[in-house]
Each structure stands twice: as structure tokens, then as C-alpha cells.
Amino acid sequence: MQQQLREHLARIVPLTDEEFALVLAQFTSRRVRKHAFLIREGERVRELYFVVQGLLKLVHTDAAGKAHVVSLAMEDWWE
């Protein structure tokens, strides 16, 4: 994860090793199974997710119970 994150951030802003270490200290690596929920309806979102591998899908369920895909976060992207 570290190298992928560093390369991603380098496209936005150059960081020294020391600066990257400070940024990296704010991250926690988390493995999520396919079809698992990161956040459930009603929960407060307290994190930003960087996708190392796979795809994250953000879904909103309307009052009628119909699910709507709001966004997709692919590898090397944020959600």
C-alpha cells in the first residue's frame, strides 16, 4: 500500500521521505471482503478510503427501497 499511495500522492504534490512518513502515519490499512459493508446507513463517515486493490461502490437506498449507485472508486482512487 505504501508505494502505491506514495506514487498517487506524488502526482499531486512532491513529498520528502519525512513528509510522506507523517502522511502515512495518518493511514490504517484495512482489508475488506468482497460484498462487505464499510459503512452502513445511518453511520457517520469518519474516514476517507484509498483503494489499493478492487472496487468500492457507494450506494444510496431511496424511500422505496431501491438502491442507486452514487459512485465507484477503482484502484488507486479515493472514496
User: Does a structural domain hold residue 55?
Assistant: yes
Domain, as residue range, for 20: 2-30+50-78
- 2-54, pLDDT tens digit by residue? 999 999 999 999 999 999 999 999 999 999 999 999 888 889 988 889 999 99
H/E element, 50: strand 50-51
Report helix angle 2-10 to 17-24, nearest 10: 120
Q: Where does the pLDDT of residue 1 fall: very low under 50, low under 70, confident under 90, or very high at 90 and above?
A: confident
Residue 42 has a pLDDT of 87
User: Does a structural domain hold residue 38?
Assistant: no
User: Does a structural domain hold residue 41?
Assistant: no
User: Does a structural domain hold residue 61?
Assistant: yes
User: Does a structural domain hold residue 67?
Assistant: yes
Fill in the DSSP letter of residue 25: T
Q: How many domains, the chain?
A: 1
Over 90: is that where the pLDDT of 64 sits? yes
